[in-house]
Amino acid sequence: MSHGEGAFDTYANWRFTEGMELEKPEQRKALKGASSLRRAVVLLYVLLALALVLFMAVTIVNLQRVSAVWEVLERAQVQSENNHTTAWHNLSEVQRILDKQLPGELKAIHSRLLNVSQEVENVRWKMTQCRTECGKELSDRLRVLEQRDALQPVLRQLAEVKREQSRASALLDVALEKTRNLSETFCTTCPAGWQQFAKNCYFFSTATKPWLAAKDSCARFNAHLAIVNDEQENKFLSIHIMENRVFWLGLTDMHREGDWQWVDGRSLSLSFWNSGEPNNIGHHGEDCGSMYFSGRWNDAPCSNTKSWICERSC
């Protein structure tokens, strides 16, 4: 081998070594970048796993809270139903006790009222008789005095008698009016099976009929379907509806839609409609008024069959 060839080989080895030295930092940088990327990916996966675990924990806590709230609501609903059942049971028990105790007391009161009413009628009759007889006696005295040829003192006496007659007649009129009012105060003539309120008697049917048939049924008892005049009367009617039933009232707008009138022709001025009523729903409409056991009113088709309430004066 010549000297020239040896120098060339030495130069080639130096270039190769220099090339290898230059490639090593670049490889180290590439390896370092890949390692950083792997660590970032691993960290991202770890964060995603932690987020998933946190989300599941929050979801489980919320589900437990919702379940607890739902259990509380269910217990409250059960408690409300139990309270409602207990209240109705107590009310029925009170009604049963009153039904046992009241008839005897009512009969005694009824007997006393009959006696008082009879005494009032007797006093009224006696006062009427007294008015007739006393008036006749005074008139006879006046005719006798007027027929005499009396002097001035007699005329004064005649004038005094006339004034006495006027006072007596006025007093008798006042007394008769008071006895008449007292007699009207006592209501002792309700038929058997009818309930009394104020000066009226009420019948609560156990059968069911359409509205017009119920109206005719009341007419056979010289009565009419119930007319509500005030809140006290409405409460009285609802108290006597002990079951979950509906009763016809004497209320209708069949003559003109929306113009509600009582069976006596009076327009409706005071009402106790249920929420959203009257609504006149259905193909044939709802033209007759009825009462729930709660005391609230509802409009219903007149062809429906319901119980009814009759009303008549004592």
In tens, the pLDDT along 273-286 reads 999 999 999 888 99
More confident residue, 225 or 155: 225
SS3 track for 123-179: HHHHHHHHHHHHHHHHHHHHHHHHHCCCCHHHHHHHHHHHHHHHHHHHHHHHHHHHH
**For residue 7, pLDDT beyond 70:** no
Crossing angle of helices 3-147 and 152-185, rounded to 10° = 150
Each residue of 54-107: pLDDT tens digit? 888 887 887 888 777 778 777 867 776 666 566 566 655 655 665 666 566 666
Q: Of 21-25, 44-48, 150-154, where does mean pLDDT reach its minimum?
A: 21-25
Q: Of 11-25, 68-82, 124-138, where does mean pLDDT reach its minimum?
A: 11-25
Specify the pLDDT at position 309: 98
How confident is residue 162, by pLDDT bands cut at 50, 70 and 90? confident
More confident residue, 151 or 309: 309
Each residue of 217-273: pLDDT tens digit? 999 999 999 999 999 999 999 999 877 899 999 999 999 999 999 999 999 999 999
Specify the pLDDT at position 22: 47
β partners of residue 311: 202, 224
Specify the pLDDT at position 120: 60
Specify the pLDDT at position 217: 97
**For residue 290, pLDDT beyond 60:** yes
Residue in the structure block whose two tokens are 């009512």:
106
Mean pLDDT of 204-218: 97
CB atoms near residue 237 (< 10 Å): 22
User: What is the separation, in whole angstroms, between the first and last Cα of the chain?
Assistant: 155
Share of the chain above pLDDT 70, in %: 61
Specify the pLDDT at position 161: 75
Specify the pLDDT at position 102: 56
Which range of 126-135, 169-178, 179-188 scores highest in mean pLDDT? It is 169-178
Calculate the average pLDDT of the chain. 78
Specify the pLDDT at position 182: 55
pTM: 0.45
SS3 track for 94-117: HHHHHHHHHHHHHHHHHHHHHHHH
Mean pLDDT of 175-199: 72
Specify the pLDDT at position 181: 57
Specify the pLDDT at position 163: 78
Mean pLDDT of 37-46: 84
Specify the pLDDT at position 58: 81
Beta strands at 200-204 and 195-197: parallel, antiparallel or unpaired: antiparallel
